Chains A and B, each alone.
Chain A
């Protein structure tokens, strides 16, 4: 499955400046592994030390937050768009 991944401005430097990337995988987690294999600097921004989605990013499959789906096990199909946005947070 090939999907399009849209990166926020903040993460583009870790991906050679690209705003969108395409990657293969049948789940969001697999797509992320493919991205990280290509752009290792993205690793720490997407996945935390426990292997879960990093708390400071929101990830959407076609605008649905994967935290409300199956997290990194969320299935993806050809043509899906995965959007990554930094969490908007503070104190």
Chain B
């Protein structure tokens, strides 16, 4: 058995356009939660580098202000697109319409991908707040987010 990778926190790097697309999709989804997927390169141990090469706005199949489920057809389409570029899905974002940008108990319980970056966008105040986390075995660690034009 290979050793379990460390629970490290990559730096999530988003371009200004990617950041804008994610936040805009969250506002477009109101009053429901909105969700989408992130693709990017991964290292040999499966850990994402933190670089994001594609953002995929998805349908919230729950159509709910309290929960989200990425539409299954959007999920496979995004996965195949990432694979066609020899990359992988590396994370998911969703909005919290009236609460903090922190993973809820449901988010922690249903986080199935230990390598993924889980991005939360809170719309509870006038300014949207975007944060990123790793969730593994019920433990939550925040990762830094860098947004730049480069």
Give bound CA distance, A58 to B105, whole Å.
22
Q: Could you mark each residue 89-124 of chain B with 1 if its beta carbon is under 8 Å from any beta carbon of chain A, else 0?
A: 000101000000001111100111100001000000
**CB-contacts of A24-40 with B (<8 A):** none
**CB-contacts of B17-39 with A (<8 A):** 35, 37
Q: Is the CB of A86 within 8 A of B67?
A: no
**How many chain-A residues does the 8 Å CB contact rule pick out?**
18
Give bound CA distance, A65 to B71, whole Å.
10
Give bound CA distance, A90 to B102, whole Å.
12
Q: Is the CB of B107 within 8 A of A10?
A: no
Q: Could you mark each residue 58-75 of chain B with 1 if its beta carbon is under 8 Å from any beta carbon of chain A, else 0?
A: 000010001111101101
Give bound CA distance, A86 to B79, whole Å.
12
Q: Is the CB of A88 within 8 A of B112?
A: yes
When distances are taken between beta carbons in the complex, the residues of chain A under 8 Å from B70 are 87-89
User: Which of B72, B73, B75, B104 is the one whose CB lies under 8 Å from A91?
Assistant: B104
When distances are taken between beta carbons in the complex, the residues of chain B under 8 Å from A56 are 110, 112
A85 CB-CB contact with B under 8 Å: yes
Q: Is the CB of B76 within 8 A of A63?
A: yes
Residues in chain A within 8 A of chain B (CB atoms): 8-10, 56, 58, 60, 63, 65, 67-68, 83, 85-91
Task: Show 17 A/B contacts (Cβ-Cβ < 8 Å), sorted by A.
Answer: A10-B113, A56-B112, A58-B75, A83-B76, A86-B112, A87-B69, A87-B72, A87-B112, A88-B37, A88-B75, A88-B113, A90-B68, A90-B103, A90-B106, A91-B104, A91-B106, A91-B110
Shortest 10 CB-CB contacts between residues of A and residues of B:
A91-B106, A90-B107, A86-B112, A88-B70, A89-B69, A58-B72, A91-B67, A65-B72, A91-B104, A89-B110
Given contacts A8-B112, A85-B72, 20 further A-B pairs with CB under 8 A are: A9-B46, A9-B113, A10-B112, A58-B76, A63-B76, A63-B80, A85-B79, A88-B37, A88-B70, A88-B112, A88-B113, A89-B62, A90-B68, A90-B94, A90-B104, A90-B106, A90-B111, A91-B104, A91-B105, A91-B110
